Amino acid sequence: MKKSLKIVFWIAALSLILFIQSFSCAYAENTPSRTLYVLAARFDTVLDGIPLETLVDFWQSEKPSTPDSNFISGIILTGSSKRPVFESLGQPANRQISYVNDTEQAIHQAIIDRSWIILPFDQLDPRLKVLAIDGKNPLDKGFEASGWPLITQNGSELGDFPNWEAVPIQNRDESKMTTLMLTGVTAMVRGTASYMDALGPEYPATNIFPELRNADILHINNEVPFAPVCQQTEEDYAVLRFCSKKRALDLLTFIGTDIVELDGDHFQDYGDEAMYYTLDLYKEAGIPYYGGGINIEEAAQPLLITHNGNQFAFIGCNAKEIGYSSASATRPGAIHCDFPKIVEQIKTLKSQGYLPVITLQHIEYYNLYPNQQIYDDFQVLADAGAVIVSGSQSHIPMAFDISKDSFLHYGLGNLFFDQAFFLPETSEATIDRHVFYDGKHLSTQLLTIKFTNLALNRFMTPEERGQLLERIFSESGIDGQ
């Protein structure tokens, strides 16, 4: 009898536990939340966005549009994106709309077919470019979801929620986002320095500083040392021996520099005293550095930074002949690239949860696509697990090679340097804004700039931007696998 009562008791207890679990799961599933979806295309798409009206017209059109590299040639929906699109745009009439349940397969097909894709924000990857709708882009900090057409409301079964705008978006939380901005060459010398002396050290950033300051982590590759007494002569210029005045540091603090790369060709131009002086200035300004240092041990150390839960490891080095890299056991300077050692660093850091970002001072190559040595070195680092490999040395904007796991940009061009009229291409550059979310590289936005004199640049007009992107993308590669 007692045994029978025990059995009954345990059956009742188990039933109660299962009921509670079932109720909890049902409540959790019905808890109000929202899910954000984005419209995206291959990264090498020139178009930056469309009006909502254009998307609606395409969706409701019975006639297929003519395929165009800069317009809609088809849209792929992932399994989870059907509901928000149908709720916003209705049942589609266009035959160029297709469905692929698996997100990874949908991305693969979009890249191969050059179709556009609608997918959850947090399932983006670096091969995709997010397209703005009515000028709004979910990659932007401070993005307001109000009025965004691609969003689902989950949990409405629990009752009426008149203020859905106050319900959290479950897959886009800015406390999990980091914007990392990588830039090209900075050298505050010659013509650039002359303008800074005459018009103030902040002058070169007059037109672009708000965007630079808006980055969570702003990277600057400052190739030139500061010197206690910096008086450049014609002889110095003739042999490309450079220094910057202490006052020039105000430009870097004005734009909100967060990290400085020190593996540039000219860091050792004014000897050990200037290098020690430069390192002290960065320390006083609270700006961490990497790729160079007080000795080879410091220069070889990765710079580790955590922001909003995203862990970054920055590694830099000079890949040219050893003469450009003076760091040794007893001497300060830039560090020469030891690729086997860096490969091991990348693997170790990756296993510890870090996102390895490698910036290289490599060969100055005035072509869109790199030579074989640059290509091979970048690929070695990508194969080891680097999330981003970026060429800091180039004086012109260069091409990309992008896969699901790595974003390779062979050169960005100048940020602050007086080469505006050296070649047509040296008047142009990109600033790469990489967006990370919850420990993952989601996507990249390219800012494009053009120099108007030897110091000042501005953001490009739409026509200038389109021409530059078409030229770069014509030589770039996007891996569809």
Cβ atoms 333, 341 nearer than 8 A: no
∠ at Cα 335 (306, 419), nearest 5°?
A: 90
For residue 7, the model assigns a pLDDT of: 53
For residue 400, the model assigns a pLDDT of: 97
d(CA 472, CA 288): 32
For residue 157, the model assigns a pLDDT of: 53
Q: What is the DSSP letter of 330?
A: S
- The DSSP bridge pattern shows strands 388-391 and 407-409 to be parallel
- Which H or E run includes 275? helix 271-285
Residue with tokens 């040639």: 73
Per residue, what are the HEC states of 89-150?
Answer: HCCCCCCCEEEECCHHHHHHHHHHHCCEEEEEHHHCCCCEEECEECCECCCCCCCCCCCCCC
CA distances from 390 to 181, 208, 414, 439 (A): 11, 21, 13, 19
For residue 86, the model assigns a pLDDT of: 85
Cβ atoms 434, 407 nearer than 8 A: yes
- Backbone phi and psi for residue 390, each to the nearest 5 degrees, phi listed first: -130, 130
pTM summary value = 0.91
For residue 177, give every residue at least 6 positions away whose Cβ sits within 8 Å of its Cβ, in sequence order, or none.
141, 216, 308, 435, 436, 437
Identical fold, 33-171 and 176-478: no
For CA atoms 349, 380, 412, 320, the dihedral sign is: positive
Residue with tokens 């390779």: 408
Of 456, 446, 389, residue with least CA distance to 421: 456
For residue 158, the model assigns a pLDDT of: 47
d(CA 300, CA 297): 5
Q: What is the DSSP letter of 461?
A: P
d(CA 90, CA 152): 14
For residue 24, the model assigns a pLDDT of: 44
Cβ atoms 54, 74 nearer than 8 A: no
Task: Determine the topology of domain 33-171 in CATH.
Answer: D-Maltodextrin-Binding Protein; domain 2 (3.40.190)
For residue 346, the model assigns a pLDDT of: 98
Cβ atoms 162, 438 nearer than 8 A: no
For residue 152, the model assigns a pLDDT of: 87
Q: What is the mean pLDDT for each group of 10 consecutive residues in the chain (481 residues)?
A: 51 49 48 89 95 88 56 84 84 84 94 94 97 97 92 67 74 97 98 97 98 98 96 89 97 98 96 97 98 98 98 97 93 97 98 98 94 97 98 97 97 97 95 98 98 98 98 94 64
Structure tokens at 373: 């040595």
For residue 163, the model assigns a pLDDT of: 66
Of 474, 476, 467, residue with least CA distance to 448: 467
For residue 83, the model assigns a pLDDT of: 82
Angle, in degrees to the nearest 10, between helices 339-351 and 372-384: 30
d(CA 29, CA 121): 20
Cβ atoms 387, 380 nearer than 8 A: no
CA distances from 478 to 16, 44, 55, 285, 388 (A): 54, 8, 25, 40, 14
277 burial (CB, 10 Å; 0-12 / 13-18 / 19+) is middle
Cβ atoms 360, 393 nearer than 8 A: yes
Cβ atoms 411, 391 nearer than 8 A: yes
* Domain residue spans of the chain: 1-30, 33-171, 176-478
For residue 108, the model assigns a pLDDT of: 95
For residue 312, the model assigns a pLDDT of: 98
Q: Which residues of 202-346 form beta strands (DSSP E)?
A: 217-222, 259-261, 289-290, 292-293, 303-307, 310-318, 333-334
- Backbone phi and psi for residue 465, each to the nearest 5 degrees, phi listed first: -65, -45
Of 72, 53, 148, 144, residue with least CA distance to 110: 72
The CATH architecture one would assign to domain 176-478 is 4-Layer Sandwich (3.60)
The end-to-end CA distance of the chain, in Å, is 66
